[in-house]
A and B are shown apart, each in its own frame.
Chain A
Amino acid sequence: MNDFRTSILPAAARLVVPVQCVFSIYLLLRGHNLPGGGFIGGLVLASALVLRAMVAPSRAPKFDLIVLSGIGLLVALASAAMPWLGGGTFFTGLWGGQIWLPTVGKIKLGTPLLFDIGVFLVVTGVAAKLLLVLMSQTDESDA
């Protein structure tokens, strides 16, 4: 791993990573009608994971990120198939009630949100995996 043992980056990462994690969820939840959504939320979370791994290689994600993407695909597919199982057309939005969350505001619950969560997981898994692998690749050549 590259040498990031200056004190600035770890100190900044300690502050930034938790904020990034919360912010990614915030982006995910407000995404249906406002700027945000699963894709961008996933990218933010992936960058948080990568930043954490950069400052402390031992804290790179221990689970297989590709499995995370697989789960995401299944979640997205489930959101598309749910209306089908209920007798409708694939991808028809099913809505059920709404909840209110502080700062995010009203969230309509339904299959589009589930689909967004699926996208979120896929993007997080793929983007983080990609960056981590590329990071380790460059090191091989530098060493």
Chain B
Amino acid sequence: MENLLPIAIGILIACGSYLCMRRNLVRVLLGIMLFSQAANLLIFTAAGLSSGQPPIIAPDKLTIAGPHADPLPQALVLTAIVIGFAVLAFAIALVLRAYHKTGSDDLDTFRRSDS
């Protein structure tokens, strides 16, 4: 897993960057989505992977015994996912409205605010 995940992150970032540079708004949106997922996965991977070692202190002990998973990155990733979800929801609504208003989803036509 430790070797596979960095490759997966790399692929996600490559795909995200490629989509971000398209002119079609929906693709750009998908691109930044992939980008933020790659970032989440990277936090998860960088903090170390382990399986079957819950960070739970046995009822009769005061400290944890043996190696254990770090619970913090999971909390961080969860927060980041929720925030990403909120931003993305807004972005989708925005793109939809912008499409209705401008009649186009081509970023090259979005020049009115740049004069």
Contact = CB atoms under 8 A, between A and B. Distances in A.
Direct contact of A and B (CB under 8 A): yes
Interface of A: 39, 130, 133-134, 137-138, 140-141
B100 A130 contact: no
B54 to A, nearest CB: 13
Contacts of A140: 100
A130 B96 CA distance: 13
B93 A137 contact: yes
Contacts, number: 14
Contacts of A134: 92-93, 96
A137 B97 contact: yes
Interface of B: 82, 89, 92-93, 96-97, 100
B interface: dominant SS: helix
A130 B89 contact: yes
B93 A141 contact: no
The 6 closest A-B pairs by CB, nearest first: A130-B89, A137-B96, A134-B93, A141-B100, A39-B82, A133-B93
A130 B87 CA distance: 12
